[in-house]
Amino acid sequence: MTRKSEIIFNEANKYIPNGVSSPMRTFSLVGGDPIILESAKGTKIIDVDGREYTDFLSGFGAIFLGHSREEISQAVAAQLDKGLVVGLSTEIEKELARKIVESTPAIDKLRFVVSGSEAVMTALRIARAYTDRKYFVRFVGSYHGHADALLAQPGGNVAVAVKGTTNGVAENNVIMCEYNNSEQLRQIFEERGHEIAAVIVEPFATNMGFVKPHANFHQDIRQLCTDYGSLFIFDEVVTGFRFRFGGVSALLGVDPDLTTFGKIIGGGAPVGAYGGKEKFMKLVEIGNKVFQSGTFAGNPITMAAGNAALDLMAKPGFYEAMDEKGALLEKEIKQNFEKYDIPFHFTRFGALSGIAFRRSAADMQNYSDVKQQEYEIYKNVHLAMREKGFLMAPSLEEPIFLNDAHTNDDIIRFAEALAVSIAEQIK
């Protein structure tokens, strides 16, 4: 019998390229038919064929409080009765902005947009306008959304295939650097520092699976940007509000010029935000150098969901509890890897983590390390985990996303199933 999900996906292909509106949803990197969603509650996802999965994808990190969290659903429902998008500002927009600005010392002012891509695009626009320079540095393997400037094919010699590039981009103003390579970045600035408008970096490289920065990496970026008059942009679309109430920059002792947010601050609704020092944010004021606008920017539905989400995360003990979930996952993963003699390495910070699918006990440092992983093993493991009722990211180059709804039992069962699935592949 043909499954309902297969019928829907085949029908979607008639009207939507690849049948999806975002490429990861094809599951093309891991095999198997895409999951077609019926409903989601807490950590449980039900597909249109009635199959249940315990979710460790968590909306690619946007779901931090569990699916269909009652407090968020109630806030959205209340706003629905008041109106959707009417082209006006709201008090709840001001309130969400206040909470974010007060949470993060690096930010004086902030504006909302609809996606992380928009937030980063505007931050780069501000940097170019402020410095009157056109080039910026990004790191090989990182992903900052799909704005043109961020997907340009890089010039020069790049050691490995560059993730996230496209044709159809008019200008190539990007300079590539290896993540965690402060010396290479220093050489870039010595050669072209007078041309560089900004350096953009993820605090943790979460689009390579999970790669931590070395101890002084962000401080080195900060110093070079200061020395050469370039702006330092911290892309916290994934990390913002994940480890503390606010940007992780405060936790890491980093002082960026501009910061971008997304995912968590929308409570599951579409959102992006960019903020920073007053002198940079002034550029988007009316009549100044930088223009940004959007019908759905700061829309009331997202603002209602975001406020409800941040109120929940502001409660005492929330982040301590999330760290405990991460610590439990780490303990269970490592115990099971030892039990089944699995030579892969687990890395964690707070409730965000990843597994290096390579036979090494060392942390991955850059995208060259990432590309040494055994992608075919992950593909087979992903399929096996689906059969066992667990949903992971449909790419090896994404983290394991814990959320507040995950129970200890969810975590323990997941860790055991994952170790068994890997052991079956490396015999």
Both tokens assigned to 31: 């095999």
**How far, in whole angstroms, is CA 409 from its chain's centroid?**
26
Structure tokens belonging to residue 210: 């999970």
Could you tell me the two tokens for 298?
A: 């700061």
**27: domain CATH number?**
3.90.1150.10
Give 245-288 as a DSSP string: SS-THHHHT---SEEEEEGGGGTTS--EEEEE-HHHHGGGSTTS
Active site residue 404: no
Up-side HSE of residue 389: CA atoms within 13 Å toward CB? 12
Which pLDDT belongs to residue 121? Answer: 95
The kind and range of the H/E element at 349 are strand 345-349
Report the alpha-carbon distance of residue 233 to residue 255 in Å, rounded: 10
Known active-site residue 235: yes
Q: What is the DSSP string of 183-199?
A: HHHHHHHHHHGGGEEEE
Alpha helix stretches (DSSP H) within 132-207? 182-192
Q: Tell me if 132 sits within 8 A of 249, measured CB to CB.
A: no
pLDDT for res 136: 94
Sheet holding 352-356, edge to edge: 345-349, 352-356, 400-401
Structural domain ending residue among the three candidates 313, 329, 345 = 313
Residues 190 and 59 in one domain: no
Whether the Cβ atoms of residue 34 and residue 18 lie closer than 8 Å to each other: no
Q: Which of 135, 179, 220, 263 is catalytic?
A: 263
* Per-residue tens of pLDDT for the chain, all 427 residues: 468 999 999 999 999 999 999 988 999 999 888 999 999 999 999 999 999 999 999 999 999 999 999 999 999 999 999 999 889 999 999 999 999 999 999 999 999 999 999 999 999 999 999 999 999 999 999 988 887 776 665 554 444 455 566 566 656 789 999 999 999 999 999 999 999 999 999 999 999 989 999 989 999 999 999 999 999 999 999 999 999 999 999 999 999 999 999 999 999 999 999 999 999 999 999 999 999 999 999 999 999 999 999 999 999 999 999 999 999 999 999 999 999 999 999 999 999 999 999 999 999 999 999 999 999 999 999 999 999 999 999 999 999 999 999 999 999 999 999 999 999 999 7
Question: What is the token pair recorded at 40?
Answer: 């989601």
Mention every residue, 6+ apart, whose C-beta is less than 8 A from residue 232. Answer: 198, 199, 201, 221, 222, 225, 226, 256, 257, 258
* 58 and 87 housed in the same domain: no
What does the pLDDT read at residue 17? 92
Instruction: Quickly count: other Cβ atoms within 10 Å of residue 12's Cβ.
Output: 17
User: How far apart, in whole angstroms, are the C-alpha atoms of residue 382 and residue 422?
Assistant: 9
Residue 198 sits in the same domain as residue 325? no
CATH number at residue 232: 3.40.640.10
> What pLDDT does 157 receive?
45
Q: Are residues 135 and 125 located together in one domain of the fold?
A: yes
DSSP SS3 for 121: helix
Domain span holding position 260: 70-313
- Exposure class string for 330-346: b at 16+ Cβ within 10 A, else e: bebbbebbeebebebbb
- Buried/exposed code over 33-57 (b: 16+ C-beta within 10 A; e: otherwise): bbbbeeebebbbbebbeeeebbbbb
Same domain, 196 and 307: yes
The one catalytic residue in 130, 135, 143, 378 is 143
Same domain, 385 and 283: no
Do 232 and 291 lie in one domain? The reply is: yes
Q: Which residues pair with 136 in a beta bridge?
A: 174, 198
User: Where does a domain end: 313, 330, 364?
Assistant: 313
Same domain, 281 and 328: no
287 and 216, same domain (yes or no): yes
**Do 88 and 106 fall into the same domain?**
yes
β-pairing, 196-201 vs 231-236, is parallel
Please give the tally of structural domains in the chain.
Answer: 2
Instruction: Compute the distance between CA of residue 361 and CA of residue 280 in angstroms, rounded to an integer.
Output: 43
Q: Are residues 283 and 393 in the same domain?
A: no
Q: Which of 47, 55, 235, 410 is catalytic?
A: 235
Model pTM? 0.93
N- to C-terminal Cα separation, the chain: 34
Q: Could you say which of 275, 290, 313 is where a domain stops?
A: 313
Q: Are residues 59 and 166 in the same domain?
A: no
